[in-house]
Structure 1
Amino acid sequence: MTSSAAPTESPGRQPEPGLRADAERNRDRILAAARRLYAIEGLGVSMASVAREAGVGKATLSRRFATREALINAVFADRMDAHTSAVAEALADPDPWHGFTGYIHTICAMQAADRGFADVLTMTFPAAKALETRRAEAYQASVQLIARAKATGKLRDDFTDQDLVILLMANAGVIAATGDAAPDTWRRLVGHLLRSYSTPGTDIPPPPEAPAPTALYRAMVRLTRTGPCTPS
């Protein structure tokens, strides 16, 4: 005798195509929302804020990305690829000093364009395996970049890869503090730092002009109102 009841879904059965498409749309909406919020506010944005921005429930967000690290890993995969490519391009430059300074400007500009990425470069996420793998690749390449620049005699012998991390931390801090009140302040910081890293007699352009006092004042007022942003 044949039963007319609908078959129950077995544990290994694949979801219906419509369900898969809906899940993919939710994932795309979550990623787009996280990119927008992280770029503007940094990694201090809560998972609840991402869910609201995406127009999904917290449970839906948790199904797609069980942890904050998983979301960050997915959001910044392309940025980390671009970072790795920037170091590789700098290493390929026939002028090691030009490659070094070009890389510094490129990576700091990437930080300025995306506050979340600025944070990513100065934090570690052990659970985000793919992101950390790309970070390790970029780090190893940057060590070679530093060694090549030193060999030209234009980069100070006492410059280390730790100084590169300090530079990125300083740049992230200036970007977070100035925001849209004085958005190009980071360029002056980087210009001064590159001059301090170079040996006497090295031909290096002067830093851009300092921001107007009124712009810095607006940045200080903004920072007073918002306070330092810490990840949650």
Structure 2
Amino acid sequence: MTSVLDLAPVIPVVVIKDAEDAVPLARALVAGGLPAIEVTLRTPAAPEAIRAIAAEVPDAVVGAGTVISPAQVETAVSAGARFLVSPGWTEALLDAMRGSGVPFLPGVSTVSEVVALLERGVTEMKFFPAEAAGGKPYLTSIAGPLPQARFCPTGGISRESAPGYLSLPNVACVGGTWMLPADAIAAKDWSRVESLAAEAASLATPAA
């Protein structure tokens, strides 16, 4: 895998409370056309969920999100994470992610953070929290001076707003949760998740 940004137009951002849901949920997302799955490290079940998906859903590219410490980098990679996503970055966290051997998307929300990463040879980043940090207008405004930076905006993005982000030259994909409604997860309605994933996977850049 050369870049997680190029696997699909949308990366589902998954919060798993029950590790038993991990495999059927991942299978539904993959069947819908979303192979890159970001399991956030926000729950105790997350490492076990990553391990289960890595072992039992071979077509999934499972990653870990909300990575905020070197220890979590080690935990995630040991569990089988094939990419890492952070909401922000520090020198220590960046060093740990770089040393992990897997692709990573450090989080940024300011031009200075982007420039600092570019200085360090990092060109692929998560823009977070996308809507709160300026959204599509912000990314449009920095595309000119910083054309080498590629982003996965995440945070507050919906099915309706995603195509607008995907139309930008510096956006490769978006992260979102709209294909994972809480009531469908609670009901274990994996067919609904698959259907919503298929809709997300079909998102194309709007005509100019």
**TM-score, with normalisation over the residues of structure 2?**
0.29
Could you say which structure has the greater relative contact order, defined with CA pairs below 8 angstroms and 6 or more residues apart?
2
- Which protein is bigger by CA-based radius of gyration? 1
